[in-house]
Structure 1
Amino acid sequence: MKYTETLKNIHHSLDRLGDLPVFSATINRIQQISASDEGDAMALAMAIMKDAGLSARLLKLANSSAYKRGQGNISVISRAVVLMGFNRIKSITLTLKLIESFHDTHPDLDVPGMMMRQFLSANIAKEIAVRSQQHVDPEEAYLAALLFGLGEIIVACTLPDEYRKLLALKKSSDKRWPLIQAEVLGISFNALGREMAAGWGYPKQVLNTMSDLDMTQLDEQSNLLTSLPYLCNGLVHQIYGQDLRNEQPYDQLVDSIANVSGIPFDDVGEVAIQCFRQVSKISRTYGLKAQLLIPEYTESGNEAKDTVVRKLAFLAHDEAEQEEPEVNEADVQVAEAHVLCSQGQLDYLNRLTELIGSEGKIHDIFKLVVEAIHQCSDFDRSLLCLLNKKRDHLSVKMIEGDEIDALQGYFERGKNGKDDDLFFRVIEKQVTLLVNDLDEEGWSSRLPKNFVTQTHCQGFVLIPLVMGSRVIGMLYADRLKGHGAVSDNDFNIFNRFATQTRLALMYADSKAKR
């Protein structure tokens, strides 16, 4: 039960802090458009431009020496997208929003330092993928390594007292670090990060990289994309002296990276130095300080490791001295993405918390969630659909709002091998689908024709519902034609109540296994 209690406390803390911008509607749109075969530069540019702070920072990066290659001044987002490519734009955007999400509310916990190290780890993973003999998308390797430390960052930000306890035990206990995490939280950081990312709709190929590995089992046949996040994060932890009991020895990590990627052992250290130099140079543009990268140099007795750390310490000091004492606030102003809960939302969230805490019936929780989404947002309709055991038929179990007959009529359906099976595929893939406005970006032509004509929908969002490892249905909300697009605020409210639904299902699954 410690595991479910930890998740409940994290979700409650996120409710108080507001939804994380990294899992905002902007990121959702960018992920969808950049992954679509039919996406184009203008559609992606339009999605980015809806976030003024993101647009300004992206243009600044596009014009920096790290990304600009003699292309002249880049003054429009669409040109930045074309020149930098969809995948790179996606990875840069996620990095910017991730850094924006986690503020330094507890200075003693060094959350900005954690983010800086994740940024470095992601760049090392990307460069290794570029040089490797395996065919791995470098941007996928970057994103996977960037998200690998998500669990630890979330705990530090949402449960600071528990995180301080973990750090104290790390120093005083002889137990392995993942075991300490499991004893205090009921779950390891990696498993927690995977759980959160799954709930936010990240694809399985990313989730599969957020696991501990046995380095002794890694060789040239191992999957590079799955291995790199673990190995590169371990390497960075070694460089910064965070592996207190040498659980992942430096030489073993470098040797594993060399074996999996096909890169010579000595070149791995040079890759780390090269990436370190690049990260130092562009850190301020991302809203980070090069000072945070300075490793504390102490002789470890490992000549290869000590050489790399000495070089990195020198480079970091050099970059930190070049930093301006004050950064132009206009250049780095972060768009405030947290949405404060209204009293109505808080009332519903409190009622849901009481129901979940008292192990109320899942039917009552579903009913309250569907009602809350409709009452607390500008969505015109909300509904819950469940799959049958064969997962080939959807049934509408609860629905709220206006003109519900047409919506219910569409979603009461079985698989038919036609375009309408799109929603079955989305649910089975366990990904969130957000369509802000059917009149934008060619959505009307990509969605099932019957859905567009029958439901009279302007925009919608849906998330699959999962109990244990089984997909059981979906939660859906939309706006009627002519009532305007789905706003970021609508999406955030929907996501808050969807999170409560996932938490309730987690409790129900845990109870069923007792």
Structure 2
Amino acid sequence: MSKKPENNFDAWLQRLNQEDMPIFGRTVQEIVSVAENSDSSVSELTRVVLQDTAMTAKVLKLANTAFYNPSNKSISTISRAIMLMGFDKVRAITLTVALVESIVRSANRDLLMAELARSLHAATQARSMAEKMGDKSSEEIFVATLLHNIGELAFWCFAKQEGEALKAEIKKGVPREEAEQKVLGFPLRKLTQRLVQDWHLNSLLEEALDPKKKVGKRGQLINISYDLAAAAEKGWQSEEVADTVREYSRISGFGRDEIQEMIQGNALEAARVSRTYGVSKVANIIPIPYKPGKDDRRVSKQTDGSMIDTVEEFEPKTSEIPQYNPLLQLDILREMTALLFEKPNFNVLLEMTLEGIYRGVGMDRTLFALVSPDHQYLNARFVLGFERTKMLERFKIFIASGRRNLFKTVLDNNLSVWIGQPQSSVADLVSDEIKELVGGDEFFVSPIIVSGKTIGLFYCDRIPSGRDMDQMSFENFENFARHASLGLEHITRLNKS
């Protein structure tokens, strides 16, 4: 096969950014951007997770495993998961879920599983060593190491003819990078470097991958851990593993025997973590150390070189529309109550309430709008569900005195109303402007009252899906709004005392 032209690299970049990868790219970029921004709030990470119901279910399932939740406290909301487990840990879980979900649906699953196994193994090794070295941001190192081969993952997610040609070269025994250069005209590590830059994924990883920069200890830790994961595939007694142990010792100051014992334990942990994520195939690929004298490589392969398919399927995507779930409502109401005794927080309580209405009552869109300090406007503050950005930007209602409208009437009279119900007392106040704003004429609204003052309201609907609203849903919606008001009242009193 002739060498590909130089512009094949640019063609692949364009393809990944504009055609095949935008959803994968945006999801990963959103998650990592929350991780990179120290000012990011819990609500931003919550929003990223809740915009995908399959991801929400997976993250909460992981949050309730013994591995991530040794205290065995029940977790039903993303907000509570962040509160109990920590912001960084939930970000790392979410990113891993996003990568796994993209990978298991690809035609090149076998190679992708091998890449993911190496990434998870390396990330687990890096995090453990970072913790041992006293790094206070070990989850950041986990994320950076997990993305170390994002170019390879991206390529194999969408590779077709070129992917088949590359697999054929690798099967012949051609060294990987040489095969990539021959088939593609560039090494895939170059694609990783560029995607990390273009998607602004992780500044620490960008430093680690740049051959022109002097890499600090944290960046070196990422590279050594990735080298170790690759070396272990050749056997735990190999010279390549010994080289990485020496490198770990050099940057950490720990003895080689101590490091050797630690990294072998980390390999077992990486396999356990993989099973926790629902991908047993990855766990089977990660090399697990055996007792001396036995074959210490545990990379299960068929005779044709492909990985044996023992994957425990990652859960298929459920409906993107949250369904009415009374048991989940009870769980979230319990968590709202627990919050008031554990770590009372105004914003977290509001976010839990929104999540309860959105996921528990089963709405398409849910928002909390806050009255402005000058009492002139009602502005959307938190939004979950369909058209989130549009609602956040456009839901700005003028409520100044003297102008009668639906939302002002709800606030002034402390009314919980079902707009669209024939007997609604304020049905005549639903203007064409409001219908245009929300895209329909049936929704629930309930005020939030704290210390006798109405500070804002909750709004929810099923307009995008066209599903019917019903009396039970309205009563449950009111119940969440009442609990929120009582909780906020409690937090306000605590803050004053």
Structure 2 residue 8 is matched with structure 1 residue 5? yes
Matches within 5 A, 1:118-197: 118-132=119-133, 135=135, 137-170=137-170, 177-197=176-196
Cα deviation code 1:159-218 (max 9, x no counterpart): 3443444455456577x643443343232222211112222232433222235699xxx9
How far residue 52 of structure 1 moved from its aligned partner, in angstroms, is: 1.1
Q: CA RMSD in A?
A: 4.2
Structure 2 residue 224 is matched with structure 1 residue 231? yes
Cα deviation code 1:313-368 (max 9, x no counterpart): 499xxxxxxxxx996x8x8233699xxxxxxxxxxxxxxxxxxxxxxxxxxxxxxx
Whole-angstrom CA distance in 2 between matches of 1:8 and 1:130 = 40
* TM-score, normalisation: structure 2: 0.54
SS in structure 2 of the partner of residue 202 of structure 1:
coil
Whether the 8 Å contact between 2:197 and 2:206 is mirrored in structure 1 is: yes
**Correspondence for 2:206:** 207
Whether the 8 Å contact between 2:151 and 2:192 is mirrored in structure 1 is: yes
Whole-angstrom CA distance in 1 between matches of 2:232 and 2:119 = 13
Whole-angstrom CA distance in 2 between matches of 1:92 and 1:308 = 36
Whether the 8 Å contact between 1:170 and 1:177 is mirrored in structure 2 is: yes
How far residue 439 of structure 1 moved from its aligned partner, in angstroms, is: 4.0
* Pairing partner for 1:266 from 257, 262, 268: 257
How far residue 70 of structure 1 moved from its aligned partner, in angstroms, is: 1.3
> Which amino acid in structure 1 is aligned with residue 389 of structure 2?
N
Whether the 8 Å contact between 2:271 and 2:283 is mirrored in structure 1 is: no
Larger RCO (CA within 8 A; separation ≥ 6): 1
Change (3 A) 1:326 1:4: closer
Whole-angstrom CA distance in 2 between matches of 1:168 and 1:306 = 35
Whether the 8 Å contact between 2:282 and 2:311 is mirrored in structure 1 is: no
Change (3 A) 1:228 1:249: same
SS in structure 2 of the partner of residue 53 of structure 1:
helix
Cα deviation code 1:23-60 (max 9, x no counterpart): 23x54444444444443334432442222111111111
Name the % identity.
21
> Which amino acid in structure 2 is aligned with residue 65 of structure 1?
A
Whole-angstrom CA distance in 1 between matches of 2:82 and 2:142 = 18
Where structure 2 has 5 or more consecutive residues not aligned to the other structure, the ranges are: 301-309, 321-387, 394-435, 440-497
Whether the 8 Å contact between 2:248 and 2:259 is mirrored in structure 1 is: yes
**Correspondence for 2:341:** none
**Correspondence for 1:431:** none
Whole-angstrom CA distance in 1 between matches of 2:139 and 2:293 = 25
Whether the 8 Å contact between 1:148 and 1:193 is mirrored in structure 2 is: yes
Whole-angstrom CA distance in 1 between matches of 2:89 and 2:68 = 10
Cα deviation code 1:52-80 (max 9, x no counterpart): 11111111111101111315211111110
Whether the 8 Å contact between 1:240 and 1:296 is mirrored in structure 2 is: yes
Change (3 A) 1:296 1:60: closer
Where structure 1 has 5 or more consecutive residues not aligned to the other structure, the ranges are: 298-303, 316-324, 338-434, 441-480, 485-514
Whole-angstrom CA distance in 1 between matches of 2:293 and 2:218 = 24
Structure 2 residue 326 is matched with structure 1 residue 333? no
Whole-angstrom CA distance in 1 between matches of 2:202 and 2:299 = 39
Change (3 A) 1:61 1:335: same
Change (3 A) 1:150 1:42: closer
Q: Give the number of equivalent residue pairs.
A: 319
Whether the 8 Å contact between 1:149 and 1:190 is mirrored in structure 2 is: yes
Change (3 A) 1:255 1:307: farther
> Which amino acid in structure 1 is aligned with residue 223 of structure 2?
Y
* TM-score, normalisation: structure 1: 0.52
How far residue 288 of structure 1 moved from its aligned partner, in angstroms, is: 0.9
Change (3 A) 1:147 1:29: closer
**Correspondence for 2:58:** 57
How far residue 103 of structure 1 moved from its aligned partner, in angstroms, is: 3.4
**Correspondence for 1:397:** none
Whole-angstrom CA distance in 2 between matches of 1:11 and 1:154 = 12
* Higher CA-based Rg: 2
**Correspondence for 1:92:** 93
**Correspondence for 2:118:** 117
